[in-house]
Each structure stands twice: as C-alpha cells, then as structure tokens.
Amino acid sequence: MQLARVIGTVVATVKTPGLEGIKLLVIQPLDRSLKPTGGQLVAADAIHMAGPGELVYFVAAREAAQAMPDPFVPVDHAIVGIVDAVSLLAGEKP
C-alpha cells in the first residue's frame, strides 16, 4: 500500500459491466514526505468517502478488487483508507 493525494474525479457513463456504481478518483501517488512520485492513476474508492484534496492510502493489483463489495470487478487500484496522520520516528527525515 502507498500514500496518495486525490486530485480529481472521473466521470464515465459507458463502462464495462461491473464498474457501474463505482466511484473513480484520480490519485497522485506520494513518497513518504508526501511529495508526488510516479504517474497519476485512476483508483476506485472502496470507502465511498474520499474526495479531492484528501490524503489516502491505496492498494494495487488483485487486492484492489477485494476491497469492492463485489470482489470480481475489473479494478486494479482501490482507495482503502483516509489518512489522518503519518507519524514518523523521531529523527527520521520525512
């Protein structure tokens, strides 16, 4: 799992069966100092509560679909939690 910032939403009316009703968000993966790293992704929102600007963590691969109500959906990245705080060890550089 990795940290990401939600930066937008995706609206798609024509979707493959199974994706209906799933909220799709654009996320920017972050390194642990919360700086953008790597390309942006579209992730399904498994908690139905994430919105633009929020710091979240997401899971990739098969486990992303496991996070959805129906685990047999074509989803490869899913937001599984909203981050309240990242607490680093004392002396640890962010």
Instruction: State which residue, 18 or 63, has the beta carbon closest to other proteins.
Output: 63
Residue 6 CB contacts under 8 Å (≥ 6 apart), including other chains: 25, 26, 27, 50, 51, 52, 53, 54, 56, 79
Question: If binding is defined by CB under 8 A, does position 78 make contact with other proteins?
Answer: yes
Among 49, 51, 52, 74, binds other proteins (CB under 8 A): 49
Buried b (16+ CB within 10 A) or exposed e, 58-68: bbeeeebbebb
Site string for other proteins, 3-42 (x = CB under 8 A): x---------------------------xx----------
Question: If binding is defined by CB under 8 A, does position 83 make contact with other proteins?
Answer: yes
Tell me which residues touch other proteins (CB under 8 A).
Answer: 1-3, 31-32, 46-47, 49, 57, 59-67, 71, 78, 80-89, 92
